[in-house]
Amino acid sequence: MEKVKIYDTTLRDGMQAEGVSFSAADKLMVARRLDEFGVDYIEGGFPLSNPKEEEFFRDIGKLELGSAKVAAFGSTRRAANTVEDDPGLAALLACEAPAITIVGKTWDLHVTDVLRCSLEENIQLCGDSVAYLVSKGREVIFDAEHFFDGYKANPDYAINVLRAAAQAGAGTLVLCETNGGALPDEVFDITETVCRALPDVIVGIHCHNDTDCAVANSLAAVRAGARHVQGTINGLGERTGNANLCTIIPNLSLKMGFETIGASNIKKLTEMSRFVFEIANLAPNMHMPYVGESAFAHKGGLHIDALRKNEKTYEHVHPDAVGNERRFLISELSGASNVLDKLEKRKMITDKSLARKILNRVQEMENEGYQFETAEASFDLLIKKEIGDYQKTFDLLKYHIDFERSTAGEMVTEATVKLQVDGKIEHVVSEGDGPVNALDGALRKALEPFYPNIKDMSLIDYKVRVVNARAGTAAKVRVVIESRDSESMWGTVGVSENIIEASWHALVDSVEYKLMKDREKA
């Protein structure tokens, strides 16, 4: 298998995404995981830009990385400076990164209107900068900024800049599709031309996603001869993002037959994606190819029936290949096969007539506003009720919620719950930050004397959605609650015209699922 080197720029270009900021400690954690993941280069940032970058390069040298090379990013010397007195080049050398990626202008428009120097001067400063860094023992990667726009405007000049960098010692020439406006056929043709013109160097590709073609453009460049691909985990980046390595890597390895990060590491792809989302404090994109939660989620009954017979019918790769998993969703679009699969996985029943009965109940409830795609714990309880295996844990006698404003202007919420367990009555009160928090506290307080294992669970997410918005203030709301204990997470759902009532149903399901799960484990 021919090798395509993977260059990750999540810690530099990815940080330019709106809403993304990594601390120096975050960057070190991501760098360690990227190294374990098997990328060839980890770009750490521009060491001259701020103290956080300086701290990163100071501390990354203390980590024992495997095969990944750390790369520092910077630009060519300024036109008014020599290479020896240019502060940017000095910072790149001082950070002691073994690889240096240096960006140079290849679009004549940028040379004349941004650098404001002559075209020949720009070629000179690109060559000088590369040669100086190479003379200091560094591997130099030359990032040809705006290369595709530059080539379309003045192809001879763009190629001459690349040639100057190559002759000065740059081992890799990266064609940057900086504005993100090129299409795959253009990228293929231009990359192929560069590979023919400069056969003795590695040609790379760096794409942005402004036309939603960053992945396609990167793959087109590889087909044309590029053997170095730059991108970010989850496609993070400025404007609409960078080329998404979570799609590029499996496409190159599983579809096109190239070696990238190693077959065993590709199975870590989903884990890597979700780790970076977590560090960036971003909600994962559930619809991303390969790694998204929905990438192998199936909802249509016909699809699921076919998949149960042959998994190749509706999946282009096996989910395990990228560390993901197959999910069959329960909804009004489901067929009996969806429900039957759920039952078989739970080792409950294999009765098709009962599966149809459960499906009918699901469709009735979804017509009322329920949704079980993210509330499988509520679905499990529904199954138990339909097959007559449900064990009720308590009887609600009443609950009540009060809101008061204190003399200090603070809102105080108080919930009272009265319930019965095995003939014994518990009547408790609990304060909370809001009605649901107070109600949750009161329910737990009432049940803990009978079920102490409830202390092990906690509510971690709460979502509300209006089901029938046209009904205005009389609309139904759907509440989805996510809970967890030391072993697992689960979702439950409640629906009502009253948001408190909907929340109550979801809370009760959450507690009952926890107790059911613990009983079955015991």
Q: Where are the domains of the chain?
A: 5-279, 297-368, 369-393+452-522, 394-450
Residue 208, pLDDT score: 96
CATH 3.30.160.340 fits 369-393+452-522, yes or no: yes
3-state secondary structure of 34: helix
Cα radius of gyration rounded to whole Å, the chain: 29
Tokens read off for 366: 């979804």
Residue of 138, 131, 197 lying closest to 168 (CA atoms)? 131
Residues 6+ apart with CB under 8 A from 396: 417, 418, 419, 508
* 161 exposure class (CB count in 10 Å sphere: 0-12, 13-18, 19+): buried
Per-residue buried b or exposed e for 443-477, using 16+ beta carbons within 10 Å of the residue's own CB: bbbbbeeebeebeebebeebeeeebeeeeeeeebb
Per-residue pLDDT of the chain (522 residues; tens, 9 = 90+): 899 999 999 999 998 898 888 888 889 889 999 999 999 999 999 887 778 888 889 888 888 888 899 999 999 998 889 999 999 999 999 998 999 999 999 988 988 888 888 899 999 999 999 999 999 999 999 999 999 999 999 999 999 999 999 999 999 999 999 999 999 999 999 999 999 999 999 999 999 999 999 999 999 999 999 999 999 999 999 999 999 999 999 999 999 999 999 988 999 999 899 889 878 878 788 889 989 877 777 665 566 566 666 666 766 788 888 888 776 665 554 445 556 666 666 555 556 677 778 777 877 887 788 877 678 888 888 888 887 888 888 999 999 999 887 777 788 889 999 999 999 999 999 988 888 889 999 999 999 999 999 998 888 888 888 876 555 555 788 898 888 888 788 889 999 989 999 999 999 999 999 999 888 887
Residue of 383, 379, 395 lying closest to 480 (CA atoms)? 379
3-state secondary structure of 168: coil
Per-residue buried b or exposed e for 103-142, using 16+ beta carbons within 10 Å of the residue's own CB: bbbbbbebbeeebebebeebbbbbbbbbbbbbeeebbbbb
Residue 300, pLDDT score: 58
For β-strands 411-421 and 297-298, DSSP reports them as unpaired
Strand partners, 244: 232
Residue 473, pLDDT score: 54
Rounded-to-integer distance, Cα 22 and Cα 277, Å: 11
5-279 belongs to which CATH class? alpha beta
Asked if residue 333 lies in contact with residue 357, where contact means CB atoms within 8 angstroms, the answer is: no
Residue 50, pLDDT score: 77
Which CATH code is given to the segment(s) 394-450? 3.30.160
Rounded-to-integer distance, Cα 477 and Cα 365, Å: 13
Output the 3-class SS for 406-470. Answer: CCCCCEEEEEEEEEEECCEEEEEEEEECCHHHHHHHHHHHHHCCCCHHHHHCEEEEEEEEECCHH
Domain 369-393+452-522 and domain 394-450 have a common topology: yes
According to DSSP, residue 77 is labeled P
